[in-house]
Amino acid sequence: MKPILTLLFSILINIASADAQIQRPNIIVFLVDDMGWQDSSLPFWDKATPLNKLYHTPNMERLAKEGMKFTNAYAAPVCTPSRVAMLTGVNPAHAGITNWTNTEKDKNTDAADDQFLPAKWNFNGLSPVAGTANTLHATPFPQLLKDAGYFTIHVGKAHWAAAGTPGASPYSMGFIVNIAGHAAGNPQSYLPKENYGNIMGKATPRAVPDMEEYFGSETFLTEALTLEALKTLEAPINNKQPFFLNMAHYAVHVPIQGDKRFLQKY
């Protein structure tokens, strides 16, 4: 990973330099949780599969047509390791973050084993603050972008660290705006009639925060997060400020709940 890290930090240093006469591009990252390689109408193989023919994702097709598509890459099999690697450039094995983090601090998510002791992994996740127990200490690249003058936005699932640690909050990771990101790895509910898990004025640990505007509406969580992301882009666009949007939908993670607009089709 060292050559990639060197390149990344070299680019960011150049962006931050007052003497660098380069145009700072806007950056949008779509991070889709638990999506399979065949779960789109865009093939990620040398031919379409029966599942590719089932789904309808025209925007992914358009992105691939207008840009580049990579089909051979590494990802961890669960969410937090991949998410931390994305923010730091550190391989999960080197980071010591090899499983998803809990919504409770200092609680290992590994299943108990009759034969082996739990691995000594950083089960509290990523921390931008040194000295946080059972975490990887690193500077996330959104902080570097913020320092370089970018307007940094996080929308959706965060899940970089356990609740009660600095890494649980996107604000600690260099994001100026945070909508709906916290320590939970999945939403309590995608349904507006269930207030996305905020029931009877009491939020469960997995209830989605910051979405009160849509409580009791007809707006499925994925759509609501998209609408909020579009709102947040208005300020940097109007101010001609370069922006970084980390668009991390909770979908298609459990619970399995359908957007009623598309239930009939599928």
Catalytic residue among 79, 182, 249, 253: 79
Dist CA 105 CA 123 (whole Å): 9
Cα four-point dihedral sign 205, 108, 80, 127: positive
In DSSP notation, 89-118 reads ---HHHHT--SPPPSSTT---SPP-SSSPP
Q: Which helix (H) or strand (E) holds 7?
A: helix 2-16
In 3D space, the residue among 125, 203, 200 whose CA is nearest the CA of residue 164 turns out to be: 125
> Does 137 participate in catalysis according to the annotation?
no
In DSSP notation, 199-246 reads ETTEE-TTPPPS-GGGTTSS--HHHHHHHHHHHHHHHHHHTT--EEEE
Catalytic residue among 56, 137, 154, 159: 159
What Rg value do the Cα atoms of the chain yield, rounded? 19
> Does 79 participate in catalysis according to the annotation?
yes
Burial classification of residue 182, based on how many CB atoms lie within 10 Å of its CB (0-12 exposed, 13-18 middle, 19 or more buried): buried
Q: Which residues are catalytically annotated?
A: 79, 159
